[in-house]
Each structure stands twice: as structure tokens, then as C-alpha cells.
Homo-oligomer: A and B are copies of this chain.
Amino acid sequence: MARVTLQTIADRLGVSRATVSYAFSRPDQLSDDLRRRILQVADELGYAGPNAAARSLRLGRAGAVGLLFSETLAYAFADPYALGFFQGLATAAEEAGVGLLILPLPRGEKRPPPVRDAVVDAFCVVSLPDGHPALAEVLARRLPTVVVDEPYVPGHPFLGIDEPAAGAQAARHLVELGHRRVGVAMVGLHDDGRTGWADPGRQRGAVFEAMRGRRSGYEAACVSAGVDWASVPFYELSRNSRAAGREAGHALLGRTPRPTAILTNTDVLALGILDAAADLGLDVPLDLSVVGFSDSAAEEAGLTTIRQAKQEIGAAAGRLLLEPPDEPERLLFPHELIVRASTAPPRP
């Protein structure tokens, strides 16, 4: 049985294809009687409705926006920061009645990302490392594109926070409390899967722009407080999980002299650091101060952190996608230091 199209129905009834099309999309162009007959025949033949791809082609719009995210989706759906962003974006899409097409980024990179075939009206790119091929594919599509967090692409709207400033604020909080032996645990600097100590060279060579900026903020604040950055133990993680944070915590807290404060670039990691501190019988904040980032999982644990407006960024991204601005802007959203119980001056 051949596929049923508008033409099939038209032939059946001896009317033109256009008439059948009107029956589906512009009821006012037809007599009620004929329209009813058309719909009935369509039903009898098992017509699946006007083909979506053909419609999209003809109308020039897709009714969907594409979303590219650096991590696997399984990870993204477990990450509080990503979820906050998704919520904002999804709500904007929902209000506009457009779909959200989540595109997979093949990790094994055997095949190219399915960006070329994505039937969308715009793209939202979130947190891609420098030089990621998927970004080039997206830009080649020449659709409205907004980038969130990283990397900044001149000529396209950008949404994020002032990473160096936010990083500096987190670090300044610690040095102003009097800490001088600071350790750092960061995830998402590189995408080569390495875990362990990172020297300043590797730190600065991070391929994730936002994290690079955040780290440089840490460094700037520490240096201006007289801390020798080269001596700051810096542990790099490849996975953002509580377990990874714990691993970093043990590494950092095992050093002599032991750091009195640890900066982390996610709340989840910070929770892991707290676990490690607990393992070692250290009191937080008396023996150790810990700062998280994002305020995505920090509240219950009483974690000092930098709050970023995840949902607002998502919502704003959605709006920019749906109504691309004439002048691409670089929008930096506010961030805020939230001081809770995980930080205090070091023991004298």
C-alpha cells in the first residue's frame, strides 16, 4: 500500500490537492460539506496529516530550537546547574509553543554530530570547549545562534556571568577571612579525561573558556592577597560528582601543610570535599573552609557559594532564540556571594 498524501485523497474525491490542503490548514476556504467529506476520506485512508517535513520545507520554519550541550545527556540531567538552565529555557520554549530539540554530541566522535539534519529555527549552544567541531557545524547552518557560558563567539548573543569577577569574589572571600593556604579543586577545564594535579601551565591551557576565566579570578584574588599561586595545590577532576570531590578533597587535605580553605567550581564537588573533611575528622568551618559554585545544591549543606541566575539565563536564552536581536549582545548576568556555614576564618 503506497503512502497516503494529500494527492491520494484529492484523487479519491476528484478534487485538487490544494483543496485538500485547505481542508486541513484553512477551513474557511472551503464549504463545510466538502471539508467534512475530505476529512472523512482522509480518515478512511489512514492519512497521517500533512507531512511535517514537507510543511517545514514549504513554510520555512521548524517550530523548534536546537540545544547542544557539552556533556552527555545522562550527565546533564543529573547536574543541578544544567537543570536550572534547562528549566528556564524549556519554560520559554513552552510559552512560545516551540519544541526543544536536544542534540546528542557523539563522544566517540566516529560520526559527526547530527547538527546538519536538525530541523530547527535556531540553536542554543551551551558550554562547549574551544574548537569543538559541533560549534563549527552550528555556525555553518547560519541560523540564529546564542551561546551560553562558553565559548564566546563574536557576532552572536552570549549569555553567562562575569567569570573572572565571580571567581575572584569567591577567592577574595577566603583571603579576606584570613586564609593563605588555599587549595583548589576544579572540574571541566579540559575534556581529555585527566584527573590529578594541574600545574599553572595546564590550568591556563584549559579549553573551557568559562572555567578558564573563573580560575583566573581565583588566581588574581589570591595573588593580590600575597599568595604565591605556583604553590597553591590545584586538583583537576574530569567528572563532576560528589565522589570526585571527595577524591580531590583527600588529595588536597593530604598535603603538608594542609590547606585551610578549598575553592571548588561546583557545589557538587564542594559536597565531596565536605565528605573528605568528614572522613578525616576535620571540622568545617573551623579546620577547613569550603566554597562551592552555582548555588545549585548548596543550601541544605550550608555551603558558601556563588549564586548564578541559572533559570533566568535559560529563560533569556529562550527569548533571544525566539526573537533574535539585531545587535548581538554579550549579556553578563549578576552573580552573588552567598555566605553560609562552610566558611570562617582559619584557626589562629
- Which A residues are within 8 Å of any B CB, using their own CB? 46, 48-57, 62-64, 66, 72-74, 76-78, 83, 86-87, 90-91, 93-94, 97-104, 106, 111, 114, 116-120, 140-143
A235 to chain B, nearest CB (A): 26
Assembly CA distance A118 to B50 (angstroms):
11
Distance between Cα atoms of A12 and B77 in the complex (Å):
47
A150 to B49 Cα, complex, angstroms: 24
CA distance A266 to B99 in the complex (A): 28
Across the interface, do B50 and A72 meet the contact criterion of CB distance under 8 Å? no
Q: Separation in Å of the A212 CB from the closest CB of chain B?
A: 27
Inter-chain contact A93/B73, CB cutoff 8 Å: yes
With A140-B48, A142-B48 known as contacts, the answer to whether A53 contacts B119 (CB < 8 A) is: yes
A87/B99 in contact, CB under 8 A: no
- In whole angstroms, how far apart are the Cα atoms of A94 and B52 in the complex? 23
Question: What is the minimal beta-carbon distance from A330 to any residue of chain B, in angstroms?
Answer: 24
B91 near A72 (CB under 8 angstroms)?
Answer: yes
Task: Specify which chain B residues have a CB less than 8 angstroms from the CB of A117 in the assembled complex.
Answer: 52, 55-56, 62-63
User: Chain B residues with Cβ under 8 A from A57's Cβ?
Assistant: 51, 53-54, 57
Residue of B nearest to A55 (CB): B117
**Nearest-neighbor residue (CB-CB) of A114 within chain B:** B63
Q: List 28 A-B contacts (CB under 8 A).
A: A48-B142, A49-B116, A49-B140, A49-B141, A50-B116, A52-B62, A52-B120, A53-B53, A53-B56, A62-B117, A63-B114, A63-B118, A64-B101, A64-B118, A64-B119, A66-B99, A72-B91, A73-B100, A74-B87, A74-B94, A93-B102, A93-B104, A97-B114, A99-B102, A99-B118, A100-B101, A101-B101, A101-B102
